[in-house]
Amino acid sequence: MPPPSHAPRPLIAVIGSVDPRRTFAHPLSSAHLAPAACRQLGAELARAGCDVAVFSSSPEYIETDVVRGYADACTEAAPGRVAAYPPRHRDVDFGLSPRAHVRVEILRDTSGEWEVAFYRTLLVSDGVLLMGGGQSTRVAGIVALSQRLPLVAVATFGGGAGQVWVNFDRVRNDADDADIRLMGDNWSPDSAARLIACLERQRERKLRRLAEAEREQHTAARRAAGGMTAAAVCLVAAVTGLVTAGPPRPAGVQDLVVLVGSPLAAAAAGAIIRNSFEGDARWGRATVRGLGAGLVSVLLYFASQLLSVPTLLDDLDVRRLLFFTIPLGFTAGFTFDLVFERLREGSVSPPPAQPRDPMAPGAGPPAGRE
């Protein structure tokens, strides 16, 4: 069925040769059936609404027969397009009737070498049709497989296309088992229609795969943007604790909430920012891990401070402590994997106690002095 009028027409590169007068490294088979098969394939490409990319009008290649079959199937209501890519010093003439409903576009390459135009065109094609041919056909098939282009290698006529069909055993891309078996079947009256339908199925699978990859990329970008927004909010919340902290006083509920909450917000921000560098950015799970690592690290720090200054909560200076615990929480969240690894090993110990401030309330004179 032809594609909708608003959809872009796929460009199918036609490559191969079934000239029995040529010597091929991999011999041809059933070559007497090939000219009619080429015309049938061309007609099916026209009915499928495809454009055709060709490289030569020499009778030793399959392009001439494919284009003639293509032109015969094109109508005024459904015209066709043939894009010819000859080297700059060559011309093409398929001997089509002036009344044929086909537009032939000569797109000369700037290079005088046919290989340049040949391989450049492969990379911009939407699909590749191979039949017979020699080393160039085989290389074209390998390039198509490596670029994950929809590919039909008509193996029944041998040649390079037959060798490409063998390669499907290792690199399948968007072809399934039924498609590969179809390419290897003997030629029959309905082979052309089935092969072009196979090419269309591969193209549809590729389009679905690319669309799914694009959706996943957009989802990942939105998830990353959401994570960075959450990290920014957490950092602002952590810094806000410095602003809202009151003067030194006996610890109250609000003071303890700020004292613990600000470092935890910083730990969540650190874990989210760390997660943004990873391929699978799931910042919700990273936030939980960061909160856990931050809570352990901050509570261990407070425990060490309480051991050295038992009266710490009697005259608590929240703002002063936050200048140390907020960076500590952020670091713990950013390196949560290291924190949990040490927990598993049982090697996490409280940070070393900070030197006592002789001016702090409740602090006595240093030992050894009267």
The SS3 assignment for 269 reads: helix
Indicate whether 349 pLDDT > 60: no
Q: Are residues 130 and 83 in the same domain?
A: yes
Strands (E), the chain: 11-17, 51-54, 80-84, 102-106, 127-132, 151-154
How many domains are contained in the chain? Answer: 2
Mean pLDDT across the stretch 311-336? Answer: 89
Asked if residue 363 belongs to a domain, the reply is no
**For 130-175, what is each residue's pLDDT tens digit?**
999 999 999 999 999 999 999 999 999 999 999 999 988 788 889 9
CA atoms within 13 A on the CB side of 153: 30
Q: Between the CA of residue 78 and those of 41, 95, 195, 281, 309, what are the distances in Å?
A: 17, 20, 21, 48, 89
DSSP 115-170: HHHHHHHHHH-SEEEEEE--HHHHHHHHHHHHTT--EEEEGGGBHHHHHHHHHTTT
Neighbours of 43 (CB within 10 A): 21
Residue 346's pLDDT is: 65
Q: Are residues 32 and 155 in the same domain?
A: yes
Q: Are residues 167 and 34 in the same domain?
A: yes
Query: 133, 161, 187 — which closes off a domain?
Result: 187
Residue 351's pLDDT is: 47
- The parent domain of residue 146 ranges over 11-187
**For 271-302, what is each residue's pLDDT tens digit?**
888 888 776 667 788 888 889 888 988 888 88
Asked if residue 116 belongs to a domain, the reply is yes
**For 194-247, what is each residue's pLDDT tens digit?**
999 999 999 999 999 999 999 988 888 888 888 889 899 999 999 998 888 888
DSSP secondary structure letter of residue 69: H
Using alpha carbons only, how large is the chain's radius of gyration in Å?
36
Q: Are residues 174 and 40 in the same domain?
A: yes
Q: Are residues 168 and 280 in the same domain?
A: no
Residue 358's pLDDT is: 46
- Give pTM, 2 decimals: 0.71
Tokens 């015209």 -> residue: 79
Asked if residue 202 belongs to a domain, the reply is no
| CATH number for 157 | 3.40.50.450
Q: Are residues 149 and 229 in the same domain?
A: no
Report the distance separating Cα 352 and Cα 335, nearest Å: 19
pLDDT-derived band at 42 (thresholds 50, 70, 90) equals very high
Nearest CA to 201 among 193, 292, 73, 186? Answer: 193
Report the distance separating Cα 190 and Cα 175, nearest Å: 19
Write out the H or E segment, with its range, that includes residue 100: none
Q: Are residues 245 and 332 in the same domain?
A: yes
Q: How far apart are the first and last CA of the chain?
A: 101
Asked if residue 367 belongs to a domain, the reply is no
Asked if residue 89 belongs to a domain, the reply is yes
DSSP 74-113: --SSS-EEEEE---TT--------TT-SEEEEE---SSS-
